[in-house]
Structure 1
C-alpha cells in the first residue's frame, strides 16, 4: 500500500495535459515551399512532443469532437466574423488563392480552419470546465484576423471564436463522467446558464501584436486582452501602452527590438499577469506564439525555449492550472532552439507545474 500511495502524486501529475490536434491542417497548403506558414510547423511540434518524456493525459483529434461539431464551429465563427468574410474564405478555398502575399487559401482551407476552430473551442471548454490545461495544436496563426479581414497568415480568428463560444454558454454542457468506476451526472455550470457572469482573460505572447483579438474584443467587457510583442513589428498596431481601449480591457506591452528574457519577464510578471488575473477570470487563454525565439526569421527578439516554460511557471504560481488553455499561434524557426522545442518545454511546464 505504501508504494502505491507514494505513486499517487506522480499519477495525478501525469494526467495533467490534453492536446487537441487540428487533424485536417494539411489541407491548408502553401502556394510554394518557401512560404513561412507550412504544414511542417505543426508536424514538427507534434513530433518533438511525442519524442520527449512529457506525458500527455489525452491526445485528441478535433475532427472527432462531439462537443464542438462542424456546425458549432461555423456558429462560433459567426459570433466574431462578418458572414460575408466567412463566405469569401469558403469560396476561395474551393479553388485556392490569396487575400494578400502572406495570407493564402488552398482547396480545403475552409475545412482545415473549421477543424482548427473546433480544436481551440474544445481547449477553452475544458479550461472553463476546470479540466485543463489543454493545448490546441493548430495552424495558421489567427490572432491577426479581424471581423472582416484575413491577414497575417490567418483566415479566421481561432482565439476569438473559442472565447465567444464560451461566453455564449457553449463551452459547458451537462455531460456524463465516470469517476472511480461510478457514473456521475455533472450539470451545466453557472456561467453557461448566466453567461453574463463569465470572464475570460487572453494572454498573447506571440511576437506580433494580435490586432484582430484587440479589435474584436475591444468592446467586450467580459474579456481582458494583453499582448506582449515586439515594437514596430507587423501589423504596426498595439504600440501605445497607455491606450487601454474604450473599456480599459486592453493592455499593449510593446518591447524594444532585440529584447530578451529580462525585458520580457518584467512585462509578464509586473504588468500582464496582474492585469489579466486580478480579479481572477473563469479561464485564461494563452495565444502561444513562438516567434519571439532568437532564431525566428520574422522578428528580432531573443527568447529561448526555456523562457516559455518559465512563463507557464509564472502563470501557475498565481492561477489554477486546470483553468488554463493554450493555442498555437506563430513560430517559424523549426530547427534548434526553435518552435518545436519551445512548444515541448511549454507542455512540460504545464505537466510539471504547481
Structure 2
C-alpha cells in the first residue's frame, strides 16, 4: 500500500495582507511531484458530514454570510470569509475525509491532507482563529461512524487546538493531545483545562523558544504514554509549521530537522499501536519555505525514505529548561 495525499489550496479564500493565504502553499505545490506518494481527488464534504461536529445552524449561517455578505471579517482573530470560502471549507474537510477513508478502507497505508482553510480552532458552534470547519474533528467522527471505536488526535501546531478539544471533551471514543506555545491565541490549553478527562484530553503548554530538544522530550515522555494508555485504532495529527523558530507570528523554536524527528516519532507510534494507520492534516504555518520543508519531512516519515532535503536551519536562540513543566504534565495525567 502507498502513501496518499490531497492538496486543496483554495485560491479564492484570500484576504488582503492576511497571513493565512493561498501563498502559504506555493513552495510546497512546486515540490509535490518529488514525493513518493500518490495524489487523491478531494470531493466536498456533505452537510451531514460537517454536522458530525458542527451545529447545523452554524453551517447555514456561514453559508449565508459567505454567499451574501462576503468578503469580510467574522471574528477578532481575524477570521475572514470570501464568496468562495464556504465551498472552499467544504472541500478542505473533504480532502481530510478522502485521506481518512483511504486509510480506513485499506486503500492506503497512511496519508497527508494538505488543505486550507485550516480547522483546529473551529468549535462546534463557532468559526474562529482563521478556521471555518474543524477538518480533523470531522474526519475523526466520520472514522467512528465507519467502524472504528478509538481514535486519537495529536496536535502540534503552535496554537492550542481549542476547537478539537471542545468537540471531544465528552466523547470517550476520542483522545486529544495539544502541544502548543502557552500565552498566545486562543489563550486556552493549560495543563488542568479538562480535569474530568485526564489521560484522554492532554495539554502540553510550552514556553516561548521551546525547540527541538524540548519537543523530543515531549514526544518521548508525553506523546508515547498518551498513545500507549489509549491504544487507538487510528491516529490523526494536526500539524502546524508555525512552531518553526522563524515563523512570523509565533515564538517557538523547532527547526526543519526537529519537525522531521517529531514526524518520525509519531509515525513510529502509529506503527507500534495501530498498524501504521495515521493521517497528517495541515493546520497553520505562515512561512511558505517552512511549510514546504516541514511537509517534506512528513512525507519522508510516512514513506520511510530520504527526500534529499538538506535544509539546515537550527534555532539560533537558547531553549528554555522544560523539565519541571514536562513532569507537571506527566504527574497530572498519571503517566509513569
TM-score normalized by the length of structure 1:
0.80
Three-state SS of the structure 2 residue aligned to 1:344 is: helix
Does the 8 A contact of 2:114 with 2:281 survive in 1?
Answer: yes
Instruction: Say if 2:18 is the partner of 1:35.
Output: yes
Q: How far apart, in 2, do the equivalents of 1:345 and 1:166 lie?
A: 26
Three-state SS of the structure 2 residue aligned to 1:318 is: helix
Q: What's the CA shift for 1:29?
A: 2.0
Q: Of the candidates 282, 288, 294, which is equivalent to residue 334 of structure 1? A: 288
Q: Of the candidates 265, 271, 274, which is equivalent to residue 314 of structure 1? A: 265
Counterpart position of 1:77: 50
- Highest Rg: 1 or 2? 1
Instruction: Say if 2:36 is the partner of 1:55.
Output: yes
Runs of 4+ residues deviating >4 angstroms: none
Q: Which moved more, 1:201-210 or 1:126-135?
A: 126-135
Q: What's the CA shift for 1:92?
A: 1.4
Does the 8 A contact of 1:26 with 1:39 survive in 2?
Answer: yes
Q: Of the candidates 302, 308, 311, which is equivalent to residue 350 of structure 1? A: 302
Counterpart position of 1:103: 79
Q: How far apart, in 1, do the equivalents of 2:230 and 2:170 lie?
A: 19
Q: Of the candidates 113, 118, 122, which is equivalent to residue 145 of structure 1? A: 122
- Superposed CA RMSD in Å reads 1.9
Alignment length (residue pairs): 298
Does the 8 A contact of 2:19 with 2:286 survive in 1?
Answer: yes
Q: How far apart, in 1, do the equivalents of 2:195 and 2:93 lie?
A: 26
1:212-261 CA deviation, whole Å, 9 max, x = no partner?
Answer: 0001100000000000001111100002x244442332000011111111
Q: How far apart, in 2, do the equivalents of 1:132 and 1:105 lie?
A: 35
Three-state SS of the structure 2 residue aligned to 1:346 is: helix
1:124-177 CA deviation, whole Å, 9 max, x = no partner?
Answer: 2233334331111101221001011111100111111111111112xxxxxxxx
Instruction: Say if 2:164 is the partner of 1:213.
Output: yes
Instruction: Say if 2:96 is the partner of 1:120.
Output: yes
Counterpart position of 1:251: 202
Classify 1:122/1:322 alpha carbon distance in 2 versus 1 (closer, same or farther; 3 Å): farther
Three-state SS of the structure 2 residue aligned to 1:278 is: helix
Does the 8 A contact of 1:207 with 1:291 survive in 2?
Answer: yes
Counterpart position of 2:112: 135
Does the 8 A contact of 1:124 with 1:283 survive in 2?
Answer: no
Does the 8 A contact of 1:277 with 1:319 survive in 2?
Answer: no
Three-state SS of the structure 2 residue aligned to 1:291 is: helix
Q: How far apart, in 2, do the equivalents of 1:85 and 1:279 lie?
A: 32
Does the 8 A contact of 2:6 with 2:112 survive in 1?
Answer: yes
- Structure 2: segments with no counterpart, 5+ residues: 307-336
- Structure 1: segments with no counterpart, 5+ residues: 1-14, 64-69, 170-191
Classify 1:129/1:277 alpha carbon distance in 2 versus 1 (closer, same or farther; 3 Å): farther
Three-state SS of the structure 1 residue aligned to 2:52 is: helix
1:163-312 paired onto structure 2 within 5 Å: 163-169=140-146, 192=147, 198-239=149-190, 241-248=191-198, 249-312=200-263
